[in-house]
């Protein structure tokens, strides 16, 4: 009788183990994507983050611990080689058994061209509608990889999308008074944000934050500043090149800070809202000065 009781208990534990299977090992490349994935996985599991701190996704060097994380992953979410160029080869070699999802090509994501017609702007998360489309793709991918938690993923995705809709409305109200004010950004990362909210971005200092602009472009930027009696020039916290001091010297230019990737924010599901809210607040703070 005791043996039967023990066997029955073991069988019950096995059944329970199958019913409450562990979540898949999920990896997200950068903080904004990690935030959306974390929101969809809330209560089920916690995704790992590859590009931590203030590291740039444009020139990220994979560390041994990150390489191990990739090699053990079941699902990997990233934007694509258009943004995280240095991750392309590691994803092929280390994540051969994982489902690797390039969100730039997810259904519903609307990509914009970069400076030239041949390039695609990879900063797709800076349009809230793209974020909503990515949440759908993330939930569908996770539900296929982990059917036992499909209802949780669907419920969480609906909650995240409702919060994104509220965020979008809030940003429109905040940014409306600053729509006509001119500004220059440090690197070519804000097209999605400025297009969505009708902002007057005139130029960017550089296309790639790791590459300085040429002398001709610097002269063009100085001319833009000279033509505008009041203009904001935005730096980024993880990039403080000496070049920006050239623009600081102009009496016409005020200086603000924008952070398109949330480098100074702690990772987690709240980061996306904090990131977008921070961009809007910093824009308005600089652009609203008379």
Contact 92, 67 (CB under 8 A): no
Q: Which of 136, 135, 114, 132 is nearest to 123 (CA)?
A: 114
DSSP string, 148-185: GGHHHHHHHHHHHHHHHHHHHHHHHHHHGGGTT-EEEE
Question: What pLDDT sits at residue 290?
Answer: 58
- Give the pLDDT mean for 200-206: 89
Note the pLDDT of residue 17.
Answer: 38
Q: Per-residue pLDDT averaged across 256-260, rounded?
A: 92
Alpha carbon distance 270, 44 (integer Å): 16
CB 249 within 8 A of CB 20: no
Most confident of 65-74, 186-195, 271-280: 271-280
Q: How far apart are CA 250 and CA 44, in angstroms?
A: 52
pLDDT, tens digit, 9 for 90 and up, residues 111-148: 999 876 678 999 999 999 999 999 999 999 999 999 99
Average pLDDT over residues 32-51: 97
How far is residue 255's CA from residue 232's CA, in Å, rounded to a whole number? 6
**Any idea which of 208-217, 227-236, 239-248, 253-262 has the lowest mean pLDDT?**
239-248
Q: pLDDT at position 156, please?
A: 98
Domains, the chain: 2-171 (3.40.50.1980), 176-287 (3.40.50.1980)
pLDDT in tens, 145-189: 999 999 999 999 999 999 999 999 999 999 999 999 999 998 889
What is the predicted pLDDT for the residue at 286? 92
Does residue 98 register a pLDDT over 80?
yes
pLDDT exceeds 70 at position 256: yes
Cα 29 from Cα 77, distance rounded (Å): 6
Query: Rounded distance, CA 274 to CA 266, Å?
Result: 10
- Would you say residue 35 has pLDDT above 50? yes
């Amino acid at each position: 009788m005791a043996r039967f009781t023990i066997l029955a208990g073991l069988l019950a534990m096995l059944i329970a183990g199958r019913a409450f299977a562990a979540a898949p090992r999920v990896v997200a490349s950068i903080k904004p994507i990690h935030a959306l994935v974390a929101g969809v996985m809330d209560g089920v599991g916690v995704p790992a983050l590859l590009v931590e701190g203030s590291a740039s996704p444009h020139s990220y060097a994979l560390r041994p611990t990150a390489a191990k994380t990739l090699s053990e992953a079941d699902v990997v979410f990233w934007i694509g080689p258009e943004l995280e160029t240095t991750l392309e080869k590691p994803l092929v070699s280390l994540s051969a058994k994982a489902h690797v999802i390039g969100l730039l090509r997810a259904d519903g994501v609307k990509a914009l061209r970069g400076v030239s017609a041949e390039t695609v702007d990879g900063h797709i998360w800076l349009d809230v509608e793209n974020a909503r489309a990515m949440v759908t793709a993330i939930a569908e991918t996770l539900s296929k990889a982990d059917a036992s938690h499909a209802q949780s993923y669907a419920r969480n995705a609906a909650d995240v999308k409702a919060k994104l809709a509220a965020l979008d409305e809030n940003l429109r109200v905040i940014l409306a008074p600053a729509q006509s004010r001119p500004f220059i950004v440090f690197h070519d990362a804000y097209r999605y944000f400025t297009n969505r909210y009708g902002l007057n971005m005139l130029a960017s200092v550089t296309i790639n934050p790791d590459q300085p602009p040429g002398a001709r472009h610097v002269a063009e930027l100085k001319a833009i500043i000279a033509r505008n009696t009041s203009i904001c020039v935005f730096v980024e916290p993880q990039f403080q090149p000496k070049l920006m001091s050239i623009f600081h010297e102009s009496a016409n230019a005020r200086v603000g800070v924008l952070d398109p990737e949330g480098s100074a924010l702690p990772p987690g599901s709240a980061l996306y809202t904090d990131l977008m809210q921070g961009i809007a607040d910093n824009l308005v703070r600089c652009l609203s000065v008379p």
